[in-house]
Structure 1
Amino acid sequence: MKIHKISLSSLFLIIFFTTFSISCSAQNVSTDKIEKKDKNKKKYKLPEIDLSHWSVTTPEINPKNGKVLNVEPPEILNYAKDDLLKKNMYNDSISGALVFYAYPTEGTTANTKFSRSELREQMVPGDNDKNWTFKQGGIMKGELAMGNVTKDSKGKYHKVIIMQIHGRLTNKQRDLIGQKDNNAPPVLKISWQDGKIRVKTKELKNLNATYEEMLETDAWTDDEGYTFKEDVGFGRFTLEVKVSDGKLTVSLNNNEFKVYDNIHMKKWGVFENYFKAGNYFQSTDKGSSAKVNYYKLSVSH
C-alpha cells in the first residue's frame, strides 16, 4: 500500500476551502429563505397625489364649530392619521388609490343639498382668495375609477360628479353686485353616470349682458351636456381638463375629446376659477353612497 504524504500547507488549503464551501451553502439557504419570505409579503401601493395644494370637504360635521368638515394644508397631509377625516378619505393600499367616500348627511356646503368628499384646489396653500382665470389657463389630469355606487328606485346607479371647474368672484366683484359671499357658478361638471362620463358646461343666457349682469349666478344656465362614447364602467380611466383663453377641452383616455371654443367660454373670462376633484355625490336617498378611487391627480398652470 502506497501512503501519500500531505504537506501542512496543503492541509490548510483543504480545510479553508471546505469551510468556505459550507459557509456559502449556509448563506445561500439563508438568502433563499429571505427571498421566499419577501415574496410572501403584500406589496403596498400609495396614490400619486400631492395634497399640498388641496383642501378637502367631507360629509362629516366638525365638532369644534358644528360646520361641515373642511381640512386645509398642511393638516390634510396627515389625513391617514385624522380619525374624523379618514372616514371619508383614505388609502386603499392594495390598489394604490385614494378613496373618496360620500353619502347623504346634514354636512353640506352652501348652495347645495348634496354631500361630498371632494378636493378643492388652492394655488396658495390655505388661501381661497388666490385663483386663476381662463386667460392664465390650467390643466388638471387624473387617473381614477368608480369604486362602488348604489342604485336608485328605478335600478339606475346614482350620479357622481368626479371633477369640476368652479367659478369664484373676487372680493371686488362680490362687493360690486352686493353679494354676501364669493360664490360663482361651476363652469364645468364631469360626472360618472351609469358607467359613462358626462360633461356639462355653462352658457350665458343673454349674450348682451353687462359686466355686472354676467357676475350674477342666474345669468348662466346649463348647456345640453355631452356624453363620451366609451363605457368606462368600474374600470380605470384617465381624464384631462385643459383651459386656455376662451377655450375648454375635456379628454377621456386621450382618445375622445370634447372641445368648447365658443362665445360662452369667452364670456366666462370675467371669473376666477379653481379645480375640484373627488366625490360630489348627487343623491339624498336613504342608504345611498358612493366611493371614487383616485390613483393619480395633478394640476399645472
Structure 2
Amino acid sequence: MNKQLILFYFYMACFLFCTCSCEKESNGLFQQDDVVFNGTEDDTSPQNVKLPDIDLSHWKVTLPIGNPTSIKPPEILDYATNDVLKTYMYNDSIEGALVFFTKPGASTPNSSYSRTELREQLVAGSDSYNWTFKDGGVIKGRLRMNETSRDSSGKPHRVIVMQIHGRLTNEQRDLIGQKDNNAPPIMKVYWDNGYVRLKSKVLKNQDASYPDLLHTDAWDNDSGYTFSEYVGYEPFTIEIRASQGEMAVTLNEIHTHSYSGNNMQKWGVFENYFKAGNYLMATESDAFARLKYYNLEVNH
C-alpha cells in the first residue's frame, strides 16, 4: 500500500470520528456512558434550582433548642451551611421555599411553646430598634403548612405563622418596674385546622391610664376572627398593615378583616416588631410542624 493511500484512509477515519462526535451533541443533548442528559432542561441543573424570595439580613431566628438558641445577622445568612440551623431552617429547592421545622423543646421566658420563628430587626443584630403604629408597617408573605402532628382527638396542632408583637421601651419598662421589655402581641395569625384565624388584644379597662395599660395583664384576648376560606395545606398569602389607630389583615389579596377604635388608638404607646415562621401550639413529646415560606417582605 503506497503512502498516498495510507494518508487517505487516515484522513477519512478522522473525518468520521469528528462527525459522530458532533451528532452526539446536536439538539442540546450529549451522551455519556449510554445516559442521555438534556443540557438545557435537566431538572437537577443549577439553573432549575428554586430559592425562596426572602432577604434575611434584617431577621433573627429563634430555635427550639438551647436556652433557647437565637441566630441573628450576619450568621443567619449562612443558614444553608450552618450546622445548628439547617435542621430547623432549610431550603426546599424544588418548591422554592424556606422550610421552618419545629418540635417541643426550649421556649422563651414568656411562653411554654417552642418555635422556629423569625424576629424582625430594623437594625441588623439588635432588638432595641422597633416601630410604632404611627410609623406604620406592612408584612406580606406567601406560605403553606406542609405537615403537622395531631392531638389525641385527631385534630392538627395549631401553629402561629405571623405576628405583630409589642415591646416596652426601656423608659416604659422602668416606669412600671418590669424586669424585661416584653409587651403583648397585638396580632397573632394562626393556621388552625386548615383555616386562618386571627387573635388580637382588647383593654380590660377602656379608661386605663398610661402607666396601667403598659402592663401585660391590662390586655385581654379578643374573641378572634376566622376567615371563611379554607386554605388547607395549599399555599396562601397573608398581609398585615398597621398604621396609626388601625390594623388590617388580608388573606389571598381578597378577604380583609380590619381593626380600629379605642384599643388600636391606645396600642399606639407601644413599640412593635414583626414575626414570621413556625410557632407550634403543642407540648406533646411527639408533636411537630413543618411550614414553608415562599416569600416574605416588610416595608415601613
| TM-score of the pair, normalised by structure 1 | 0.88
Aligned pairs (5 A) from 1:275-290: 275-290=274-289
Which residue of 6, 21, 30 corresponds with 2:25? Answer: 30
The residue aligned with 1:13 is: none
Render the CA deviation track for 1:157-216: whole Å, top value 9, x for unaligned: 000000000000000100111100000000000000000000010001111111000100
Q: CA RMSD in A?
A: 1.8
- Partners of 1:94 and 1:186 in 2: CA distance: 34
Aligned-pair distance for 1:257? 0.5
* Corresponding residue SS for 2:101: strand
The residue aligned with 2:263 is: 264
- Partners of 1:191 and 1:41 in 2: CA distance: 35
Render the CA deviation track for 1:218-265: whole Å, top value 9, x for unaligned: 000010000001000000000000011000000000110001012101
Aligned pairs (5 A) from 1:218-237: 218-237=217-236
Render the CA deviation track for 1:75-107: whole Å, top value 9, x for unaligned: 0000111111111111111111101111111x1
1:280 counterpart letter in structure 2: Y
Q: Greater CA deviation, 50-59 or 258-267?
A: 258-267
- Partners of 1:214 and 1:24 in 2: CA distance: 84
1:230 counterpart letter in structure 2: E
Render the CA deviation track for 1:127-147: whole Å, top value 9, x for unaligned: 111000000000000000001
Aligned-pair distance for 1:24? 8.6
| Unpaired runs of at least 5, structure 2 | 1-14, 31-36
- Partners of 1:268 and 1:24 in 2: CA distance: 77
Aligned pairs (5 A) from 1:1-301: 27=22, 29-32=24-27, 33-34=29-30, 36-42=38-44, 43-61=48-66, 67-105=67-105, 107-301=106-300
Render the CA deviation track for 1:45-94: whole Å, top value 9, x for unaligned: 11000000000001121xxxxx2110000000001111111111111111
Residues matched between the structures, number: 277
- Partners of 1:191 and 1:28 in 2: CA distance: 58
- Partners of 1:99 and 1:41 in 2: CA distance: 20
- Partners of 1:24 and 1:227 in 2: CA distance: 68
Identity of aligned residues (%): 51
* Corresponding residue SS for 1:60: coil
- Partners of 1:24 and 1:47 in 2: CA distance: 44
- Partners of 1:195 and 1:27 in 2: CA distance: 55
User: Is the 1:201–1:222 Cα contact (8 Å) retained in structure 2?
Assistant: yes
| Unpaired runs of at least 5, structure 1 | 1-18, 62-66
- Partners of 2:282 and 2:51 in 1: CA distance: 29
